[in-house]
Structure 1
């Protein structure tokens, strides 16, 4: 079900911690989000602190006792860490093994060796999509940029024709496909099925990346013509290694958690019997924690040992992979606290009450909320978590597939029009040697295309499944 209607009113029956009316709750939401936006954009305060303060402001304006607001925030923070924190950590370890062992470079070199000038944009979006599965966007970009610059220079190819497909592949994976933090947090917030969300996310991600990547790159190439200076030509991560993992082993390791989670989703659909032995086994091996843990353990051999890493070197790689995600983990956790505060003060019930007569798609509403927060804060993760918190109570009567589509609609909205308040905007600008205007005409437009096209596919799928 995708309509906000009377049928959706069987949401979580949690007594609100405040007796505020709809008007006061609406003002509280606006104030809480405004405080969050101003602290992030104007005061340049870290998103973790901004979300914490925003949650307190939200509860205070709603008239809730502050001790209960603190309890709600702390509970949401803890539940979110328990739900997605370990998965984010495991994803970071796998990504670090992939980068440090030279596995990422092996994927790149193998595919590029078989690509012609005509097929190079398609090769770049394929590479970015594979590498982007286990890696955070910023890490994937740092890995891909040297490849983009080197291919463009040595092949005398347009930077836009090579770079836009690579960026599109990374961004689509970041916004739509778990185990990235945003989709994971949204799945946890609305209690979506991870396997179904993953399957539908990949299904939507492929055509979206093609349209925003190789197809749009033709237009971007006509709009912007830049040649990055030589000083921006970084070294590749694996140049100091004596050997690298094999291509098949590397791709197999990267795709292992995806395959295990998809197997679980398919078995759940085919068997649909919690007591069936096959389904119980599939539920275990397809559990995201088990799937990612298996990939990490396998990766220590297929990536680490294959690159000649000693046990101490592997241990160091694992250790150093965790420090950079501390900020991301805290932001996601605080976002969970903000989400729980929204629920506990009764915002979910308010939205359901005032939307009984609305004839608007819940998927479209979720996308619009994510777009608004994305434009205001510049953070895809904050937009995803906040929108999921607001939409969570509306999923009570939705089918499993439509809850998954709701997650994807939120993820699509969180990517809309990256601009000057987004760190990714400046990363692309500096690496590609573009002006602000050129970055808007390429990167920002590409992000908008991803957001709108992905929403279109989400709405289309909602009509047929």
Structure 2
């Protein structure tokens, strides 16, 4: 009965999102209530589960995701992303231009969410393709591969952060493991795969001439890179201090406090407000307006993440989680592979990588209470599965098609195949890493 309820809820979720086109946040609320009633939860307990699921999921995420969105927006508005991209293009030259695009997407993709990064960097792709007379898709795919991997694998992006919280994983280890898996994944799915696309025709109707900020108005390269990567630097340094501080408890406590993800993001925003904002001639109220716009853009993502937490809590409080775990254990599949498969199937059905990852987490979570598995690697496994084979039900598919001027066939052969490579290669890397860590 429990498995039948789970299947019914997932199918209904898919239909409401894809066919009825209901708002994802509202859909999760409806499905959570439906699951609670079908599982026989007392009415007086349902509201408590809803509040607990929403609160527990968002409690430690709101600060990180909102401040991460603010940083990403400021990196774009200040011209830091443009400076990084231009410097990479000039450093690598035409021969290694795809590697330049890959490196740019990697650096800029750490603080920027995928959609923000795409629209921010697409002018760079256009200008590079126009300057060297190269196909748009050949120049663009390496950068999109980097942005996609950053979005699906590494904190502080919404889905990896939510999965890290839900599985009680170590954010530092998730980042380190994710970084180790991301590098080969990006190289293969980016510059190497792009070689096969060099002769792919494209007829973009979007103007190739783009407006860029004047060079003398851009922040310096060092400032741009350090400001963009500051959260990673702070957390990394604090981890090293804790590791080598020995018995110095006060130093460890200070390092742990300063390196906490929420505190690290606060420190970064305080510093970036000066380095990328006021130092570049922006008034404080202008920087605050940038931050306000960033919050508006991330609001729905927060609601979706919170509502996914409600569904997980319903399964926990109803007692269904134990039965789900027993059934999944009976499949005799490695937990990491099972998490990837569930996320990949949901990605094919739903389109949204974030929704697929969060839904898969709610399904696989009960199994993790009964089967030993590295929570840090499970975050990455579900993240990799959630990127599998983007197609017509994913808005990124259509955005790529229209901006690059590709036919349906060539969009599948470029964008969809690249996303599939990212997902599968990522899984292989995670399984290898799991074997090495045993």
TM-score for the superposition, normalised by structure 1 = 0.89
How far residue 321 of structure 1 moved from its aligned partner, in angstroms, is: 1.6
- Residue 56 of structure 1 contacts residue 66 of structure 1 at CA under 8 Å; is this kept in 2? no
Partner Cα distance (2:46, 2:192) in 1: 48
Q: Which residue of structure 1 lines up, in the alignment, with residue 204 of structure 2? A: 228
Cα distance change, pair 385–316 in 1 and its aligned pair in 2 (3 A): same
CA deviation profile, 1:17-55 (whole Å, cap 9, x unmatched): xxxxxxx11011111111111111001111101111111
Q: Which residue of structure 2 lines up, in the alignment, with residue 214 of structure 1? A: 191
Q: Helix, strand or coil: the match of 1:229?
A: coil
The total of aligned residue pairs comes to 437
Query: Is 1:258 the equivalent of 2:235?
Result: no
Q: Which residue of structure 1 lines up, in the alignment, with residue 411 of structure 2? A: 439
Q: Which residue of structure 2 lines up, in the alignment, with residue 200 of structure 1? A: 177
Cα distance change, pair 359–102 in 1 and its aligned pair in 2 (3 A): same
Partner Cα distance (2:351, 2:122) in 1: 22
Q: Which residue of structure 2 lines up, in the alignment, with residue 387 of structure 1? A: 360
Partner Cα distance (1:125, 1:233) in 2: 22
Partner Cα distance (1:221, 1:67) in 2: 61
Cα distance change, pair 137–299 in 1 and its aligned pair in 2 (3 A): same
- Residue 343 of structure 1 contacts residue 389 of structure 1 at CA under 8 Å; is this kept in 2? no
Query: Is 1:94 the equivalent of 2:67?
Result: no
Comparing 419-428 with 57-66, which one deviates more in the overlay? Answer: 57-66
- Residue 59 of structure 1 contacts residue 345 of structure 1 at CA under 8 Å; is this kept in 2? yes
How far residue 221 of structure 1 moved from its aligned partner, in angstroms, is: 3.0
Partner Cα distance (1:66, 1:142) in 2: 46
Q: Which residue of structure 1 lines up, in the alignment, with residue 385 of structure 2? A: 413
How far residue 265 of structure 1 moved from its aligned partner, in angstroms, is: 3.9
CA deviation profile, 1:374-429 (whole Å, cap 9, x unmatched): 11111111111111222223334778x92101100000000000111111111111
CA deviation profile, 1:286-327 (whole Å, cap 9, x unmatched): 111011111111111110123210112112212222111111
How far residue 235 of structure 1 moved from its aligned partner, in angstroms, is: 3.1
Partner Cα distance (2:15, 2:369) in 1: 33
- Residue 231 of structure 2 contacts residue 264 of structure 2 at CA under 8 Å; is this kept in 1? yes
Cα distance change, pair 234–329 in 1 and its aligned pair in 2 (3 A): farther
TM-score for the superposition, normalised by structure 2 = 0.95
**Equivalent residues in 2 for 1:149-188, closer than 5 Å:** 149-188=126-165
Structure 1 unmatched runs, 5+? 1-23
Comparing 209-218 with 333-342, which one deviates more in the overlay? Answer: 333-342
Query: Is 1:372 the equivalent of 2:345?
Result: yes
CA deviation profile, 1:106-126 (whole Å, cap 9, x unmatched): 111111111221111001010
How far residue 282 of structure 1 moved from its aligned partner, in angstroms, is: 2.1
- Residue 94 of structure 1 contacts residue 134 of structure 1 at CA under 8 Å; is this kept in 2? yes
Partner Cα distance (1:65, 1:27) in 2: 20
Partner Cα distance (1:177, 1:228) in 2: 31
Cα distance change, pair 327–397 in 1 and its aligned pair in 2 (3 A): same
Q: Which residue of structure 2 lines up, in the alignment, with residue 3 of structure 1? A: none
Cα distance change, pair 192–218 in 1 and its aligned pair in 2 (3 A): same
Partner Cα distance (2:206, 2:435) in 1: 50
Partner Cα distance (1:258, 1:115) in 2: 25
Q: Which residue of structure 2 lines up, in the alignment, with residue 324 of structure 1? A: 297
Query: Is 1:53 the equivalent of 2:30?
Result: yes
Q: Helix, strand or coil: the match of 1:146?
A: helix
- Residue 127 of structure 2 contacts residue 210 of structure 2 at CA under 8 Å; is this kept in 1? no
- Residue 206 of structure 2 contacts residue 403 of structure 2 at CA under 8 Å; is this kept in 1? no
Q: Which residue of structure 2 lines up, in the alignment, with residue 131 of structure 1? A: 108
- Residue 149 of structure 2 contacts residue 186 of structure 2 at CA under 8 Å; is this kept in 1? yes
Q: Which residue of structure 1 lines up, in the alignment, with residue 250 of structure 2? A: 277
**Equivalent residues in 2 for 1:6-25, closer than 5 Å:** 24-25=1-2
How far residue 63 of structure 1 moved from its aligned partner, in angstroms, is: 2.1
How far residue 331 of structure 1 moved from its aligned partner, in angstroms, is: 1.0
Q: Helix, strand or coil: the match of 2:92?
A: coil
Structure 2 unmatched runs, 5+? none
Q: Helix, strand or coil: the match of 2:393?
A: coil
